[in-house]
Structure 1
Amino acid sequence: MRLGGFLAAGTLAAGCFTDRQNAGARLYAQHCAHCHGDEGQGLKRLIPPLAGADYVAENRNFLACLVRRGVNGPMVVNGITFNQVMPGHEDLTDSEITNLLNFVQSSWGNKGKPFTIREVSEKLQACAGSDGQ
């Protein structure tokens, strides 16, 4: 009996972790893929790529605020200047932004260090964007 209960609990816990692990991919598909592409490829010279993007690798301190507040003005990604408005995602919690950024950091050849929720909340203080969740 004890072993069965332990296995059932382990299966439930694994399901929780699997769900959370895929949260970043779901958030990307819902909030980002329509512009940045399913594979983070961007759109020619209109929308910057996230796949293999030097901007993602070099601007870790600003990524959380970029997601929360958006961008209006030029930015250079992989040597190409982009100048389109990216809307902010005020509806995402700090933890959702963390999951989203970690998905981008580990997809399409990107090899960025994972974010913690605490780090994202601290980075969001710079743009008065943390919701503490």
Structure 2
Amino acid sequence: MKSPARPAQLLRLVAALALTGSIVGCFSNRQNEGARLYESHCSSCHGTQGEGLKRLIPPLAGADYLLKNRAALACLVRKGQKGQIIVNGVDYNQVMPPADSHLTDSQITNILNFVQTSWGNAGEVFTIREVSEQLRGCGGSDGR
């Protein structure tokens, strides 16, 4: 009688291991996505260490702007920015290009969280829900 139970137990064990492997793979594919996205979409202007470019492009490292404007950051990434902003007491007035068509809500969340937790920044991380709500407010949510 115990023989039929062993194949069933073995089958459950194999299924559990396969599920665990696919879950780990799912998460590992997204690991460090914010850093990779920042590197490919943001670092050429804001610098590899978020240092900005003198008085032309504002820094992200230690930027008071991130804390003061949290509710607008997702839209800033999606829609870009024109006009004057003040970061750490310095005036900046350059155009930041939008990421309208090539970054999903999820990718914007990952970029923002990378910036919020890098270079000594200790900002609160964003949830995908929070970012999507911000983006809906500026007509920029893609729901992904």
- Common fold by TM > 0.5: yes
1:22 corresponds in structure 2 to: 32
The answer as to 2:80 corresponding to 1:70 is: yes
Structure 1 residue 4 displacement after superposition:
6.7
d(CA) in 2 for partners of 1:115 and 1:96? 12
Within the candidate set 120, 123, 129, 1:109 is matched to 120
State how 1:1-133 maps to structure 2 within 5 Å: 6=16, 9-90=19-100, 91-133=102-144
Structure 1 residue 46 displacement after superposition:
0.5
Q: Highest Rg: 1 or 2?
A: 2
Structure 1 residue 21 displacement after superposition:
2.7
- Show structure 1 runs of 4+ deviating over 4 A: 1-9
Percent identity, please: 63
d(CA) in 1 for partners of 2:93 and 2:71? 21
- How many residue pairs end up in the alignment? 133
d(CA) in 1 for partners of 2:19 and 2:52? 42
What TM-score, normalized by structure 1, do the two folds share? 0.91
CA RMSD of aligned residues (A): 1.6
Structure 1 residue 16 displacement after superposition:
2.5
Unaligned residue ranges in structure 1 (runs of 5+): none
Unaligned residue ranges in structure 2 (runs of 5+): 1-9
Indicate the larger mover: 15-24 or 71-80: 15-24
Cα distance per residue 1:80-108 (max 9 Å; x no partner): 00010000101211111111111111111
